[in-house]
């Protein structure tokens, strides 16, 4: 019976949070008063009680179906934060308990754990390959190191400081190249403008970076520009600042990459971000007029 209700979880919670309900004293009693009829009948539902209990019961089955379990887990986490009822992640505990039940379960878990770094490497390469395909014919690619660095990033337990990426030449002057680079840092995918000399990433002072910007991009308005770091004029996370593609924690939207429709939707958002700013970047070196 609970399984048939999984598809209605989003609808139910959205109704609870957005319809004609009156949420009274969240941080004290955590009660939701549901008004029925013309206000004559009032049913009292507890966020910390009945609603959470129902979600937990669903979760006892749903942990075997990760996509469904993640939906339930997010709502339970939200309720726990609102009501102060923070408890151990029940799904992770259920997984640990299941692994400990038998030798076969443990060996299966080890096999999965050993496979994940390779799977993550392949996915990172696929994302960069799609970006390369999208950028083909638009800018000249002069540096691509993600093939080797993706292996190091995803499979090495020691060093992730050599960030994988691919760079495209925007313009060149006095042996220096202004490049649009797509890269994964400690966590997430982003794009930005940086400078190279003989294919080496330059480290510049703020004044020197602005000087190169003015020399290489006459159309750039250098006023109100503050470089993001010693290596980057600016950077922007992809697909968006509030929608990180985190290759380290592998949370947020990252798991959607392993669903073909999810992968295509994420890449579409990335391409929209690129296409919406590429002409301005090529002309001025800037993502927008002020950084």
Condensed to tens digits (0 to 9), the pLDDT of residues 97-146 reads: 899 999 999 999 999 989 999 999 999 999 999 999 999 999 999 989 99
Decide if pLDDT at 29 tops 50: no
Give the CA distances from residue 91 to residues 1, 77, 98, 256, in Å, rounded to whole numbers and listed in that order. 20, 11, 11, 19
Q: What is the per-residue pLDDT for 269?
A: 97
Nearest Cα residue to 134 out of 279, 278, 271: 271
The 8-class DSSP code of residue 148 comes to H
Task: Please name the residues in contact with 173: beta carbons below 8 A apart, sequence gap of 6 or more.
Answer: 212, 215, 216
Dihedral of CA 70/74/76/80: which sign? Answer: positive
Q: Which of 9-13, 36-40, 262-266 has the lowest mean pLDDT?
A: 36-40
CA dist 21 and 31 (Å) reads 11
Separation of alpha carbons 215 and 225, rounded Å: 15
Classify each residue of 29-45 as buried b or exposed e, where b means 16 or more C-beta atoms within 10 Å of its C-beta.
ebbbebeeeeeeeeeee
The predicted structure's pLDDT at residue 103: 93
Residue-averaged pLDDT of the chain? 78
Instruction: Please give the pLDDT value at position 30.
Output: 37
- 152 pLDDT exceeds 80? yes
194 in Cβ contact with 259 (< 8 Å) = no
More confident position, 247 or 23:
247
CB 165 within 8 A of CB 183: yes
pLDDT at 64: 54
pLDDT exceeds cutoff 80 at 35: no
Q: What is the DSSP letter of 51?
A: I
Name the pTM for this structure. Answer: 0.68
CA 48 to chain centroid: 29
């Amino acid at each position: 019976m609970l399984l048939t209700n999984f598809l209605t979880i989003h609808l139910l919670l959205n109704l609870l949070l957005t319809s004609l309900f009156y949420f009274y004293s969240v941080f004290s009693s955590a009660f939701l008063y549901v008004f029925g009829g013309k206000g004559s009948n009032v049913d009292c539902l507890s966020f910390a009680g009945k609603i959470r209990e129902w979600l937990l019961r669903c979760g006892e089955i749903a942990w075997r179906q990760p996509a469904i379990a993640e939906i339930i887990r997010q709502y339970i986490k939200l309720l726990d934060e609102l009501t102060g009822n923070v408890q151990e992640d029940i799904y992770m505990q259920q997984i640990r308990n299941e692994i400990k039940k038998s030798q076969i379960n443990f060996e299966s878990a080890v096999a999965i754990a050993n496979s994940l770094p390779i799977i993550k490497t392949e996915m990172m390469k696929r994302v960069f390959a799609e970006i390369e395909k999208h950028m083909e014919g638009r800018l000249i690619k002069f540096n691509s190191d993600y093939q080797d660095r993706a292996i190091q990033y995803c499979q090495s337990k020691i060093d992730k400081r050599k960030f994988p990426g691919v760079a495209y030449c925007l313009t060149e002057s006095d042996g220096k190249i202004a490049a649009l680079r797509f890269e994964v840092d400690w966590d997430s995918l982003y794009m930005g403008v940086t400078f190279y000399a003989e294919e080496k990433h330059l480290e510049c002072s703020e004044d020197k970076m602005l000087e190169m910007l003015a020399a290489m991009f006459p159309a750039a308005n250098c006023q109100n520009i503050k470089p993001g770091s010693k290596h980057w004029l600016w950077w922007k996370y992809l697909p968006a600042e509030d929608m990180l593609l985190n290759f380290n924690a592998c949370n947020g939207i990252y798991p959607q990459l392993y669903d073909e429709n999810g992968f295509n939707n994420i890449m579409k958002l990335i391409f929209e971000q690129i296409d919406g700013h590429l002409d301005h970047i090529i002309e001025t070196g800037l993502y927008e007029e002020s950084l």
